[in-house]
Amino acid sequence: MRAGEMLSELSTRFEQEFAKIDSDQDGEITFNEAKLLFQQLNIPYKNFVRVLQLMSRCNDGKRFKVSDFMTPDVKLYLLNCMKNCLPEFSTTLIDKKKEYQVNVSKIQEILAEEIERGARAPSFLLYLVLLVIYGVVVTLQLSPWNSASTRAAVLSYFADQTFTSSIATTLLTFHDIQSVQDLWKWQIDVFVNKFYIQSYYNGEPLSSLDANYLLEHIKKMGTFRVLQRRSRNGTCAVKMRFPAFESSCYGETWSDGLEGAVEKASFVGAVTGQTYKYTDAPWYDSGYLQTFSSNKDSAVAQLQTLQQDGWINASSRYWRLDFSAYSPDVSLFIYTN
């Protein structure tokens, strides 16, 4: 028998017995009538219980319809039950013209495919949602020139500002920084002063609304953060020959400090005794993360505390300062680091 004919035979036989049990002919039967239906089909009670499990049903007082028993997984189970329990539902069906051999494995394959297709439906819907999100993101970035020029303007605003070196009277920019002391000096003397604008070009105090803007038109989306990642001590590739003279030996890291001899243990500040913990967050935010206040004086005080505590030292392998902003003139969000 062909697979389709086998399934048709199953449905026909089941519907016939269902109609006999359905005394009021309303298309529904009770729980007890469903038990009687399976008895008429010579299907043991334990198999009836298994069918209820497949249907996620129990003796909850609700009535059953034929369609409740015709889902792919239930049909597959009933097919095996009826084949084993009903002699007349055998592997051969004879009609007036010819004899067909039943390919039970083919029927099981078809039903299993239907079940699998149903299980894949949620994944497909999720794929469609992600596809829509991707399309929206691509649409918002149709103008790479606006994106690149806005980002360049913000970076230049901070990175090209000069400051005096910590060890000489030389003027430096962010690109000239070669020491930890100069990095702290740039953060405190340049970045904070440029990030927290307090007056207009004519010296008048900024309004509370304008204080949230950079370059007079780019709106800050909150405050800024600083993150670092460290290397573990004693992880050098070459063993130290004179440990008495050098007690530290920091190994290499890569992938922005996320791979290699990565240090994740907490450490204590040298002056304040404050404990700084490693944050296990989504990839980009993993590390020793510091979030700053929206108040300039508080931000300066926090940076000075970090400097005194040796928050950045010889073990530091990665440092990042970042913040988000929105440029309304080109309708773009900016993430700068």
For 303, the 3-state DSSP assignment is helix
Position 319 pLDDT exceeds 70:
yes
246-275: per-residue pLDDT in tens? 678 888 899 999 999 999 999 999 999 999
Q: Do 101 and 54 fall into the same domain?
A: yes
**174 C-beta neighbours (distance < 10 Å), count:** 19
State the average pLDDT over residues 143-152: 80
- Residue 194 inside a domain? The answer is yes
Q: Do 14 and 77 fall into the same domain?
A: yes
**Highest averaged pLDDT of the listed ranges 124-133, 137-146, 208-217, 328-337:** 124-133
Q: Do 208 and 323 fall into the same domain?
A: yes
Residue at which a domain ends, from 104, 119, 134: 119
Structural domain boundaries enclosing 99: 3-119
- Cβ atoms of 48 and 40 within 8 Å: the answer is no
Q: Do 59 and 191 fall into the same domain?
A: no
Q: Do 305 and 266 fall into the same domain?
A: yes
Task: Tell me how many domains the chain contains.
Answer: 2
Q: Do 176 and 96 fall into the same domain?
A: no
**Highest averaged pLDDT of the listed ranges 25-29, 125-129, 131-135, 313-317:** 313-317
Residue at which a domain ends, from 51, 86, 119: 119
- Give the pair of three-digit tokens for residue 161: 């500002």
pLDDT of the residue at 25:
84
- Residue 302 inside a domain? The answer is yes
CA 173 to chain centre: 38
83-135: per-residue pLDDT in tens? 665 554 444 433 433 444 555 666 667 767 777 777 777 888 888 999 998 88
State the average pLDDT over residues 26-41: 83
Q: Do 157 and 229 fall into the same domain?
A: yes
Position 224 pLDDT exceeds 80:
yes
Residues in the chain, how many? Answer: 337
- Residue 132 inside a domain? The answer is no
- Grade residue 244 by pLDDT with cuts at 50, 70 and 90: low
155-184: per-residue pLDDT in tens? 899 999 999 988 878 899 999 999 999 999
Q: Helices then strands (H, E): number in the chain? A: 9, 15
Residue at which a domain ends, from 119, 154, 170: 119
State the average pLDDT over residues 46-57: 77
Q: Do 29 and 151 fall into the same domain?
A: no
State the average pLDDT over residues 25-52: 82
Position 243 pLDDT exceeds 80:
no
What rounded mean pLDDT belongs to the chain? 81
pLDDT of the residue at 92:
40
d(CA 301, CA 145): 38
- Cβ atoms of 219 and 330 within 8 Å: the answer is no
- Grade residue 217 by pLDDT with cuts at 50, 70 and 90: confident
Q: Do 63 and 115 fall into the same domain?
A: yes
State the average pLDDT over residues 299-328: 94
Q: Do 95 and 194 fall into the same domain?
A: no
Q: Do 111 and 152 fall into the same domain?
A: no
Q: Do 24 and 169 fall into the same domain?
A: no
- Residue 184 inside a domain? The answer is yes
- Residue 199 inside a domain? The answer is yes
**187 C-beta neighbours (distance < 10 Å), count:** 22
- Residue 330 inside a domain? The answer is yes
- Grade residue 310 by pLDDT with cuts at 50, 70 and 90: very high
- Cβ atoms of 175 and 183 within 8 Å: the answer is no
pLDDT greater at residue 138 or residue 324 = 324
Q: Where are the alpha helices (DSSP H) in the chain?
A: 3-21, 31-40, 45-54, 72-85, 104-140, 144-159, 180-185, 192-195, 296-308
Position 12 pLDDT exceeds 50:
yes
d(CA 317, CA 229): 6
- Residue 171 inside a domain? The answer is yes
- Residue 133 inside a domain? The answer is no
- Give the pair of three-digit tokens for residue 300: 């300066």
d(CA 311, CA 277): 11
